[in-house]
């Protein structure tokens, strides 16, 4: 059974800092890994999706890396801003119990990020 | 980008009431839809997966008769919480994906429904 862990659980940084969020997963047989942002009381916004064959993906100030062999992914946020404050979730997509093709996402518990001015 | 609309955003009702939540993909055909439940300060827990025109596949521990899922079209899935009780109070989020067989497609999420049972 896939288990996804995120460290740290919470992070508070001053504006302008570069920061790294960590995600680890126990089963390396993944389709892909996705990073999401969740604002309080809201749904999830997809930030980056890394296919199993890829090592990293970049979007603006965000860079996500994937190391399947060690079961790790990191989300790097450059020059953080107060608007980046949110909960960041990583999710690994693996086969479901029935082995059907669509797979399922297993989520970590998230990192609550606060960027203060 | 892909848009998933979930309605209602918030429901408050009495114990014993049945509540229906709708999830629509607005600009793409969602062959597969997912329903999640999120407890306060916890991560998302997958409840069930539905493919258009087929019966939903429920995760272990999720009561099929309690949480009825219908995926009648490529743009609409519904979750009905039957005879809801206070312990069913939670944040429910749906997700939609293009393509049944292509698990490398990203999932797109709705804004969630806050269900409060009195």
The chain A residue lying nearest B49, using CA atoms, is A104
Q: What is the DSSP string of chain A?
A: ---EEEE-SEEEEETT--EEEEEEES----SEEEEEEE-TT--EEEEEEEETT-SEEEETTEEEEEETTTTEEEEEE-S--GGG-EEEEEEEEE--TT--TT-EEEE---EEEEEE-
Closest approach of B98 to chain A, Cα-based (Å): 10
Q: Residue A45 pLDDT > 80, yes or no?
A: yes
Calpha distance B25→B4 (Å, rounded): 5
Confidence at residue A99, expressed as pLDDT on a 0 to 100 scale: 55
Helix (H, G, I), strand (E, B), or coil: what is residue B87?
Answer: helix
Res A96: pLDDT: 59
Residue A29: band (very low, low, confident or very high) from pLDDT cuts 50, 70, 90: confident
Q: How sure is the predictor about A19, in pLDDT bands with cuts at 50, 70 and 90?
A: very high
Res B52: pLDDT: 81
pLDDT at position B77: 93
Task: Name chain A contacts of B46, Cβ cutoff 8 Å.
Answer: 104-106
SS3 for B49?
A: strand
Q: Is the pLDDT of residue A101 over 80?
A: no
What does the pLDDT look like over A47-99, one tens digit per residue? 999 988 999 999 999 999 999 999 999 999 999 999 999 999 999 988 655 55
Q: Could you read off the pLDDT of A103-113 as tens digits, one per residue?
A: 788 999 999 99
Q: Is A5 on the interface with B (CB under 8 A)?
A: no
- Between CA B21 and CA A86 the distance in angstroms is 25
pLDDT classification of A100: cutoffs 50, 70, 90: low
Total beta-carbon pairs less than 8 A apart between chain A and chain B? 65
With pLDDT > 70 as the criterion, what percentage of chain A qualifies? 92
- Which residue, among A39, A35, A36, has the nearest Cα to A82 in the 3D structure? A39
* Full pLDDT tens readout for chain B, 118 residues: 668 999 999 999 999 999 999 999 998 888 889 999 998 878 899 999 888 878 888 998 999 999 999 988 889 999 999 999 999 999 999 999 887 655 667 788 999 999 999 9
Q: Are B83 and A14 in contact (CB under 8 A)?
A: no
Positive/negative CA dihedral, A42, A43, A46, A50:
positive
Rounded CA-CA distance B88/B109 in Å is 21
Q: How many helices (H) and strands (E) does chain B have?
A: 0, 11
- The answer to whether the CB of A91 falls within 8 A of the CB of A46 is no
Residues B108, A58, A103, A8: is their CA dihedral positive or negative? Answer: negative
């Amino acid at each position: 059974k896939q288990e996804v862990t995120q460290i740290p659980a919470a992070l508070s940084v001053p504006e302008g800092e570069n920061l790294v969020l960590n995600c680890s997963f126990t089963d390396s047989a993944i389709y892909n890994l996705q990073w999401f942002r969740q604002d309080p009381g809201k749904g999830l916004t997809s930030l980056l999706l890394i296919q199993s064959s890829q090592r990293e993906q970049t979007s603006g100030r965000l860079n996500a890396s994937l190391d399947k062999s060690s079961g790790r992914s990191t989300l790097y946020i450059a020059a953080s801003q107060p608007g980046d404050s949110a909960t960041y979730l990583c999710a690994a997509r693996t086969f479901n119990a029935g082995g059907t093709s669509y797979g399922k996402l297993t989520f970590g518990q998230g990192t609550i990020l606060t960027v203060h001015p | 980008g892909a848009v998933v609309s979930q309605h209602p955003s918030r429901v408050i009702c009495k114990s014993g009431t049945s509540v229906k939540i709708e999830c629509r993909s607005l600009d793409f055909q969602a062959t597969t839809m997912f329903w999640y439940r999120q407890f306060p300060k916890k991560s998302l827990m997958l409840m069930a997966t539905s493919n258009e025109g087929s019966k939903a596949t429920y995760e272990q521990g999720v009561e099929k008769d309690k949480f009825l899922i219908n995926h009648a079209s490529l743009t609409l899935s519904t979750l009905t919480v039957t005879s809801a009780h206070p312990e069913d109070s939670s944040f429910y989020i749906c997700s939609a994906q293009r393509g049944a067989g292509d698990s490398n497609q990203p999932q797109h999420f709705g804004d969630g429904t806050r269900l409060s049972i009195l």
